Every structure is written in C-alpha cells, then in structure tokens.
Amino acid sequence: MIFLLTNDDGVDSPGLGYLAEALAELGKVYVVAPERERSADGHSITMHKPLRVKFKGRPSQSLEIWESSGSPADCVVIGIFDILPSKPDLIISGINLGSNLGEDVTYSGTVSGALEGFLCDVPSVAFSLATFEAPLWDTAVCVSKLIVQTMLDFPEPFILNVNIPNLPLRQLKGILFTKLGRRRYIDRLNKRVDPFGRPYYWIGGYPEDVAPQEGTDIWAIKEGFVSISPIKLDLTDYDKIKSMESWRERIEHHLKEKCPSP
C-alpha cells in the first residue's frame, strides 16, 4: 500500500505526525505537506510563482517526509506527479486541529487536499479533530486508521470528510454517515484602526449557538459521534435548474435587442 499524506496545519503539526506513524504500520507513507500553516486557504493552487520542495527525512523504512512552499492541493499534485514512485492507493489529509463541518469544507485546506486527490482519481479522505484545545490525538489516530483500513477495501475514487469528537475512545457514541450541515458564523468581520488612523480587518467570527439539524455532521459531533460525510465536487443545484426556465426567455429577449437592461 502506498499512502500520500498531506494537511493544512503544516508539516510539523502533531496531527499529521501521529497519523503518519500509524499509517506507516499499514504501508509506505509519503508525507508531502505545506512548510507553514495554510488553514482556510481552500482549494488554492500556486500558478504565479515557483513551488519549492524540500526533503525533511526518512524516520523509518516506511515513512518519508517532504515539505513544500505550496498549498495542500499543490502538495498533492507534487506528491502524485513527482515524489511518489507510483499512484497512491489513498490520499489522506489531516489530522486537522479543529473541525471542518458544514460550509467549512468550502474554506478548508484540509478538505481541499482530499478534493485534489479525488481530482487525480484517487480515493481521498480528510480527517479533523473537533477541538482547538487539549486534543486527544490517540482517539483521532485510532479512528482515522480504522477508516483508512476500511477504505482500502473500496478502491473506487470517492471523498470522505471525517470529523472526530475530542473524546476518550470509550466515550465515543459510534459512527454516523452524515450530510453537511449549516452553521452561520457571527461577528465575521472585525474592523479596527491602526496607529496611523487607517482601517484594517480581521476575518473570523464564531458559529452561532443554535441547535443543529439532526443527521448533519454538526449534529453528529455535538452528540459525540464520529461523523463521516461522503462529499462530491458537483456543486450544481439541480432543483434550481428546473425552476429557471423562465429566466432564459427573459434574458434571450433582451439579448436580441442588443442587451438593453430589462
């Protein structure tokens, strides 16, 4: 088995290190990860400057570590097309410190690592531990390894977004297959003034404290379950397509009149 492991917390993050060691018991692990934190960089790729890659070491026969100046998606591309001797059996991103739930997946560098893996026709999975404090890496590594072992029996390309509650293993309630939930962030934009009187901004905020919808990833984590969301790249709103027929006539009518506004 050949694994390509990346993340968005940076090559030195503990979640990546512990998972790399655990996966090295199952096969050959190539870590190709960003040299610095790239959380919330989404699915960015580097196109307007050179990408650098540095060999960090070979802690064991089955583990090789590389760092790159690029994003998680860059790391996956470099790994597949240059560093790895052949196509990996699985691409793994994480384990991220902090959850990636609901619309977080659109910002997440962790999830984007897995999305890029899928684009390269490899089954891919993103792992996130749902805490920023006192992470219980043992739980997250144990769960992640079991899911990886299970995925290997289903080799067709698909993407899983996995979130793991920060609980001791025995307190986990089980596993749920979930859909992405929705959580609105509040206080998203913080505007301040610098010592020279010019405005600057912090983007961030925190999720609104409302009861999550049952069956969502947010709900599963709140209830103490491991959440596994199979996700797709197709963002098309199929219901909306059906209800948009009237738009065509209206827009085409104005196009014929060389585009005066409606």
The site for Mn ion (CB under 5 A) is made up of: 8-9, 39, 96
Q: Given the complex with Mn ion, which of 62 and 100 has the nearer CB atom? A: 100
The minimum distance between CB 88 and Mn ion, in angstroms, equals: 21
Q: How far apart are CA 97 and CA 37, in angstroms?
A: 11
Q: Given the complex with Mn ion, which of 155 and 205 has the nearer CB atom? A: 205
Q: Given the complex with Mn ion, which of 71 and 96 has the nearer CB atom? A: 96
Q: Given the complex with Mn ion, which of 89 and 115 has the nearer CB atom? A: 115
Q: How far apart are CA 240 and CA 170, in angstroms?
A: 44
The minimum distance between CB 8 and Mn ion, in angstroms, equals: 4
The minimum distance between CB 98 and Mn ion, in angstroms, equals: 6
The minimum distance between CB 16 and Mn ion, in angstroms, equals: 10
Short-list 126, 129, 151, 149, CA closest to 140: 129
Question: Do 110 and 128 form a contact (C-beta atoms < 8 A)?
Answer: yes
Q: Given the complex with Mn ion, which of 8 and 74 has the nearer CB atom? A: 8
Q: How far apart are CA 172 and CA 129, in angstroms?
A: 13
Map residue 20 onto helix, strand or coil. helix
The minimum distance between CB 108 and Mn ion, in angstroms, equals: 7
Q: Given the complex with Mn ion, which of 39 and 99 has the nearer CB atom? A: 39
Q: How many residues does the chain have?
A: 262
CA 71 to chain centre: 12
Residue 36, Cβ neighbours under 10 Å: how many? 11
The minimum distance between CB 13 and Mn ion, in angstroms, equals: 8
Residue 152, Cβ neighbours under 10 Å: how many? 15
Q: How far apart are CA 226 and CA 184, in angstroms?
A: 22
The minimum distance between CB 10 and Mn ion, in angstroms, equals: 8
Q: Which residue is nearest to Mn ion (CB)?
A: 39
Q: Given the complex with Mn ion, which of 16 and 228 has the nearer CB atom? A: 16
- Cβ neighbors of 16 (< 8 A, separation 6 or more) are 5, 7, 9, 10, 31, 33, 94, 95
Q: How far apart are CA 217 and CA 105, in angstroms?
A: 11
